[in-house]
Amino acid sequence: MPATPLRVVALAYDGLCTFEFGCVVEVFGLARPELTVPWYTLRIAAIEPGPLRAGGGITVAVDAGLEALADADLVILPGWRGADAAPPASLLDALRAAHARGVRIATICSGSFVLAESGLLDGRRATTHWCYAEKLAARYPAIEVLPDVLYVDEGRLLTSAGSAAGLDLMLHIVRNDYGADVANSVARRLVIPPHRDGGQAQFIGRPVPRHGNNRLAQTMDWMRVHAVEALTLDDMAGHAAMSPRTFLRQFRDATGASPYDWLLRERVEIARSLLETGDIRLEQLAAVSGFGSVESLRAHFRRVVGVAPSVYRRSFAAA
């Protein structure tokens, strides 16, 4: 446990992501008189001359620049102004220098693109918002992008998924610095769970076909309607008026999945919807969603969504 307050520097920029920035201030910038530990100090550093505009029509005035990173213990980049927005060289140089001094650097959401551009993530794992994950992986092939997690801890380099996952990452940092009891206390004050099960897969909608194919699209609509039935490959190929071999090839080209795996995901979507809208028993849920058994439901639901059906129900069921 640190003997003195750890110095946190949050980076501010024109186009600042207001929610992500607010989360950093909430966790590291508020006094915690209820805790008996030397709490963090927070300083804001502008990466460019101000005043800086933030989302929601807010203007931010900052009295420190990148020189504030010189005595930081932790630097946080709360989002970025866009996955395609090039970061200034001065920011990249400051991040590299801070890392060389042993400073921890954490990013929220699209902030991972800035850290990636610095080269510090090469050969390491990282994450970002699920809608940016493919772009991050394609642009920076030296990084192992984990699209289905809430955050990644690579020691002195930490990245988180979209917006609210930044809170998960920051609680993880608090937990590492001060222990579970302190992190739990902060979580209670924030009125959030101290640790969320699962990952981004819980929040990603169903995939859509990659290209138009009217005959295949009609069959996919038919498969969706009959997803809970015991469809065979011959059934599906026959509906599309294709040979099984041609159907398999065209289906995988269109969806990136086999027809069987696609059907399983449709059944998971049915189960997810029922879990969100009603207090259905798992035995009944398995039957009406086409899985047949609770064991099959649990196995496929966890594989696709990342958590057990019971955990998903607690997180998403309507009050």
| Amino acid (one-letter) located at 69 | L
Q: How many CA atoms lie within 13 A of 59 on its CB side?
A: 4
d(C-alpha 310, C-alpha 280), whole Å: 11
Mean pLDDT, to the nearest integer, of 197-218? 56
pLDDT at 265: 86
pLDDT at 163: 78
In terms of C-beta density within 10 A (0-12 exposed, 13-18 middle, 19 or more buried), how is residue 59 classed? Answer: exposed
Q: For residue 141, what is the DSSP state? A: T
Asked which of 35-44, 77-86, 195-204 is least confident by mean pLDDT, the reply is: 195-204
Using CA atoms, how far apart are residues 85 and 195, in angstroms rounded to an integer? 32
Which pLDDT band, with edges at 50, 70 and 90, does 197 fall under? low
Residue 314 — very low, low, confident or very high, per pLDDT cuts 50/70/90?
Answer: confident
Give me the chain's average pLDDT, please. Answer: 87
User: Can you tell me the distance from the alpha carbon of 267 to that of 136, in angstroms, rounded to the nearest whole number?
Assistant: 30
**Regarding beta strands 52-54 and 58-60, do their DSSP bridges make them parallel or antiparallel, or are they unpaired?**
antiparallel
Q: Is 53 exposed, middle or buried (0-12, 13-18, 19+ CB in 10 A)?
A: middle
Which residues of the chain does CATH 1.10.10.60 include?
214-316
pLDDT in tens, 107-139: 999 999 999 999 999 999 999 998 899 999 999
Task: Give the global pTM.
Answer: 0.66
Lowest mean pLDDT among 101-110, 114-123, 140-149, 180-189: 180-189
Q: Helix, strand, or coil here: 116?
A: helix
Top-confidence residue, 206 or 9: 9
> 3-state secondary structure string, 184-234?
HHHHHHHCCCCCCCCCHHHHCCCCCCCCCCHHHHHHHHHHHHCCCCCCCHH
Residue 125 has phi, psi (to 5 degrees) of -95, 150
Q: What residues does CATH 3.40.50.880 cover in the chain?
A: 7-202
Q: Which CATH class is domain 214-316?
A: mainly alpha
Contact in structure between 37 and 186 (CB atoms under 8 Å): no
| 51 upstream amide cis, omega within 30 of 0 | yes
**46-55, 116-125, 207-216 — which one is most confidently predicted on average?**
116-125
Q: 7-202 falls under which CATH superfamily?
A: Class I glutamine amidotransferase (GATase) domain (3.40.50.880)
- Give CA–CA dist 21/190, Å, rounded: 15
pLDDT > 70 fraction of the chain, expressed in percent and rounded: 91
With H, G, I as helix, E, B as strand and everything else as coil, classify residue 309. helix
